[in-house]
């Protein structure tokens, strides 16, 4: 499936991150944005409004973030590829309807422009504190897909990936940005429409009277139809059967919810995306995602220049977690240095997965500036001197 060429700004452009986000969404076929303005995500909405005029898209400003995601879910069920954009407190308000979107298996994309929290925090300062909220911020059992671009070009590319994932697995997909990345400016190459591959919506094509909205295919993902297309069916956030009607028993809960988990977990190896650099002989591997990767990349180069065998593991998808790859790498390397703009979230997944095979050092990055790699290099140097595996997570002083 290809997008219409007339909506694609093919060529190389100098864009900010917030513009690349919109261009990626439009190129992915997004035609509906429901949001409530909040810093530092406002400019994404403003730019979408401009692009909507030439791409047959709709922008709706709702009264709050709760209703914004509700509008997105409704728009998706009418056949429009839909998204919302928010930050911090707004992301928290969306958690109820994130769970509803998971339960209704509604394809959509949620862009979270992270800022320092909790509460209202510092609206203009970048952070990566929403990582676990993106995974399990709503109640109950489910799995979700979350992407974390590190450059402006990746923002464009990952928006297309996000919509493709959401359509293929019928699940809300979260894209984690931050206030630094959306204001970063660089050249972005937008391909021709014929070179953009879009995942088509999984439409049911059988007799109308036989349609069951939650009858699962072999990959556990049900077929969908558009509301208003003449099909009679029911959807609810309650535990439901194949017809979509509430059934209050344990058997139906197992049928319903276990599939929400397994349709992601069973296909983790198809979903996870990452990049590695110089890990073949690495004694220390720096692990980073999102904006933190920029300084991590510089630290890895500086470490190699200093004679330390340092490698780099960059996560493009943070959820699901690349457990197999990290576990295998932990058997070959001496230590990991995990870099995050928070006080420790992803690092605990690293510790669990490594199972004592390698040392784990944590760097709460960003106090000296997003692009400053001194604190990361310091951790690499110090952990390279360790001769045995230490218990727990190691945190070093930030000064050499």
- Contact (Cβ atoms closer than 8 angstroms) between residue 148 and residue 176: yes
- Find how far residue 282's CA is from the centre of its chain: 28
Domain boundaries, the chain: 5-195, 274-394
Distance (Å, rounded) from C-alpha 157 to C-alpha 23?
A: 9
The third-level CATH classification (topology) of the domain covering 5-195 is Rossmann fold (3.40.50)
The whole-angstrom separation of Cα 356 and Cα 319 is 22
- Residue 216 in 3-state DSSP? strand
Nearest to 130, CA basis, from 319, 275, 293, 273: 319
| Parallel/antiparallel/unpaired status of strands 359-364 and 335-340 | parallel
Distances (CA, A) of 166 to 141, 252, 344, 396: 18, 24, 28, 39
Look at residue 314 and give its three-state secondary structure. Answer: strand
pLDDT value, residue 158: 98
pLDDT (0 to 100) of residue 368 = 73
pLDDT for res 398: 55
Interacting residues of 53 by C-beta distance below 8 A, sequence separation 6+: none
pLDDT of residue 400: 34
Pick from 115, 109, 181: which is nearest to 150 by CA? 181
Tell me how far CA of residue 82 lies from CA of 25, 69, 101, 195, in angstroms: 9, 10, 12, 22
Q: What is the pLDDT of residues 163-176, one digit of tens each?
A: 999 999 999 999 99
Phi, psi of 159, deg, nearest 5: -65, -40
**Same topology between domain 5-195 and domain 274-394:** yes
pTM > 0.95: yes
With beta carbons less than 8 A apart as the criterion, state whether 26 and 57 touch.
Answer: yes
Contact between 244 and 214 (Cβ < 8 Å) = yes
Q: Give the containing element (helix H, strand E) for 43.
A: helix 42-52
pLDDT, block means (10 residues), the chain with 400 residues: 94 98 98 97 97 95 97 97 97 98 98 95 94 96 97 98 98 97 97 97 93 93 93 91 91 91 97 98 98 97 98 98 97 97 95 96 87 94 94 74
pLDDT at residue 396 in the model: 78
Q: Which residues contact 173 (CB under 8 A, 6 or more apart)?
A: 108, 109, 110, 144, 145, 146, 147, 162, 163, 165, 166
CATH class of 274-394: alpha beta
Cβ atoms of 212 and 243 closer than 8 Å: yes
For 295, the 3-state DSSP assignment is helix
Q: Tell how many helices (H) and how many strands (E) occur in the chain.
A: 14, 15
Name residue 350's beta-bridge partners: none
């Amino acid at each position: 499936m290809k997008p219409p060429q007339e909506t694609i700004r093919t060529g190389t452009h100098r864009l900010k991150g917030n513009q690349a986000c919109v261009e990626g969404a439009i190129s992915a076929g997004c035609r509906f944005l429901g949001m409530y303005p909040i810093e530092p995500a406002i400019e994404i909405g403003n730019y979408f409004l401009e692009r909507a005029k030439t791409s047959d898209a709709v922008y709706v400003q709702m009264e709050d973030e709760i209703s914004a995601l509700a509008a997105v879910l409704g728009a998706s069920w009418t056949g429009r590829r839909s998204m919302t954009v928010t930050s911090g407190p707004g992301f928290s308000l969306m958690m109820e309807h994130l769970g509803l979107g998971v339960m209704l298996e509604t394809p959509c994309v949620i862009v979270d422009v992270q800022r320092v929290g909790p509460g209202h925090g510092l609206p203009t300062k970048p952070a990566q504190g929403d990582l676990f909220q993106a995974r399990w911020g709503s109640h109950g059992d489910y799995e979700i897909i979350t992407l974390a671009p590190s450059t402006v070009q990746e923002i464009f590319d990952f928006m297309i990936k996000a919509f493709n994932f959401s359509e293929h697995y019928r699940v809300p997909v979260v894209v984690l940005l931050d206030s630094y990345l959306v204001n970063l400016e660089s050249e972005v190459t937008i391909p021709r429409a014929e070179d953009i591959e879009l995942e088509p919506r999984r439409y049911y094509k059988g007799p109308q009277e036989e349609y069951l909205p939650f009858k699962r295919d072999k990959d556990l993902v049900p077929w969908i139809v558009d509301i208003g297309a003449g099909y009679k069916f029911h959807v609810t956030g309650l535990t439901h059967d194949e017809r979509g009607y509430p059934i209050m028993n344990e058997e139906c809960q197992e049928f319903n919810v276990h599939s929400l988990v397994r349709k992601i977990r069973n296909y983790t190896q198809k979903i996870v995306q990452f990049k590695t650099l110089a890990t073949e002989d690495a004694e220390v591997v720096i692990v980073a995602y999102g904006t933190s990767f920029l300084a991590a990349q510089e630290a890895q180069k500086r470490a190699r220049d200093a004679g330390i065998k340092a490698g780099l593991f960059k996560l493009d998808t943070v959820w699901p977690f690349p457990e197999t790859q990290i576990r295998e790498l932990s058997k070959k390397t001496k230590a990991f240095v995990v870099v995050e703009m928070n006080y420790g979230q992803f690092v605990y997944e690293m510790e669990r997965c490594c199972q004592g095979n390698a040392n784990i050092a944590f760097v709460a990055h960003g106090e000296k500036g997003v692009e400053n790699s001194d604190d990361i290099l310091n951790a690499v140097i110090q952990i390279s001197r360790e001769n045995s595996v230490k218990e727990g997570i190691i945190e070093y002083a930030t000064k050499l």
